[in-house]
Structure 1
């Protein structure tokens, strides 16, 4: 276990250095990128989607609504997309060094969490600009992050194992992420759900990322405790993902060496 933790630390550090190597602004891009994306999307969508949950999202609140949703979804999309090929990319190392294979997809989720932590600086800047005072409800932040990262690790384990045997998943997942982006209220607001057919409403409420975004916005924007439904759904998806991911990964990992 100590060896695995050391390898995890080294891999996260290596990815961090590679991402910002030869970059003038370096790690500042983790703050600037969500800010710039928020500005562009706010300009494009604010006039269209300025009405929020039950009409509660004002134009002044929309940038915070947008950036919180964007960085939360990005944590999931980045970690799972990079975990897809984590086993394949580590093939040379796996053939030479005896190491637990789960380290590689798990590391991708942890690296995305590090980037997310820097993105919170951008959220703090937006809150300061719009004079949104943080409240004690932010004590829920570690809870939602543990659940979200667990969900990402589970998906990462599942996808990395399947990609070893079915390389087409790399292309399919990019389509899934694109569709998932538009199906999740990142830039559009949740009052549109009430206008959907009942079956689509049920599907929307079951969308894992809808629940994680709702949790984050509750504590940052609406400054309230997450509802029991939101907390329950986030826990459900985290447990389901990690269990399914672990079972598939554990059952297939002994065959990885034959396909990488």
Structure 2
């Protein structure tokens, strides 16, 4: 694991340049540019909130904030892992020409997605002001769930970047899997709507733990239980450990599959 991070640090300038490139490419020829990072979650929140307010009536206080906090975090996870999957194959020509630590490519894509995600957090601030969410001292703990989900995402993304290079079908399978994962995570419905067996299974859902940690800090102004923090830390650590192990184990033969 130390070697993995030492190589990233040695090529930190390249990593930063790749992140900048991804951000420039994402909003190239866009009139509003980075404003879309703010507008996208707001517009989606308005649409989904309207639909669920009339079609489904869940007993959720401040549903727009409940929805936005879940939607923003899960969208980051979804976007970052999808970007990681194509990172190595898209950089195949460069990898074949010069030696570079291959983890630079998936990590840079995920970090660029994280930067966009940080911009989108402004949408949450706006809705907090509009809906008059009570801000408490716990808001200072916001970086914690963000760090948890970033580490967890990097671990998953590293595994997917390897798997999708060896087997292109993984890209399509992941699209189906993450959609199912989204519906199994209480983003737009309360956990109370689930049957008992599903509620018990939910505690094994890493995204639920991190999402709830974020909501408790931002929306409810409470300190998440230590059990919640431990669950998030374990999920993030296990994910990153497995991701680094799989990546280092299989990266040697990647060039044969590009």
Compute the TM-score of the two structures, normalised by the length of structure 1. Answer: 0.93
Residue 26 of structure 2 is aligned to residue 19 of structure 1: yes
Q: CA RMSD in A?
A: 1.2
* Cα distance, 1:73 vs structure 2: 0.4
How far apart, CA to CA, are the structure 2 residues paired with 1:186 and 1:140? 21
* Cα distance, 1:97 vs structure 2: 2.1
How far apart, CA to CA, are the structure 2 residues paired with 1:197 and 1:100? 47
Select which of 217, 227, 230 maps to 1:229. 227
Map of 2:159 onto structure 1: 158
SS of the residue corresponding to residue 135 of structure 2 reads: coil
Query: Structure 2 matches for 1:166-205, cutoff 5 A?
Result: 166-193=167-194, 196-198=195-197, 200-205=198-203
* Cα distance, 1:141 vs structure 2: 1.4
Q: Is the 8 A contact 1:49 1:189 kept in 2?
A: no
How far apart, CA to CA, are the structure 2 residues paired with 1:49 and 1:170? 35
Map of 1:10 onto structure 2: 17
Q: Is the 8 A contact 1:144 1:215 kept in 2?
A: yes
**Higher deviation after alignment, 240-249 or 2-11:** 2-11
Select which of 233, 237, 240 maps to 1:239. 237
Structure 1 residues 49, 4: closer, same or farther in 2, change over 3 A?
farther
How far apart, CA to CA, are the structure 1 residues paired with 2:57 and 2:151? 31
Gaps of 5+ in 2: 1-6
Once the two structures are superposed, residues 104-162 of structure 1 have per-residue CA deviations (whole angstroms, 9 ceiling, x without a partner) of 11112211211111111111110111111322112221111111100000001101011
Once the two structures are superposed, residues 37-85 of structure 1 have per-residue CA deviations (whole angstroms, 9 ceiling, x without a partner) of 000010111342431xxxxx32xx1101110110010111011011011
Detail structure 1 runs of 4+ shifted over 6 Å in the superposition.
none
Once the two structures are superposed, residues 175-203 of structure 1 have per-residue CA deviations (whole angstroms, 9 ceiling, x without a partner) of 0111111111111112213xx142x2222
Q: Is the 8 A contact 1:105 1:156 kept in 2?
A: yes
Query: Structure 2 matches for 1:81-96, cutoff 5 A?
Result: 81-96=82-97
Aligned residues: 250
How far apart, CA to CA, are the structure 2 residues paired with 1:133 and 1:214? 17
Compute the TM-score of the two structures, normalised by the length of structure 2. Answer: 0.93
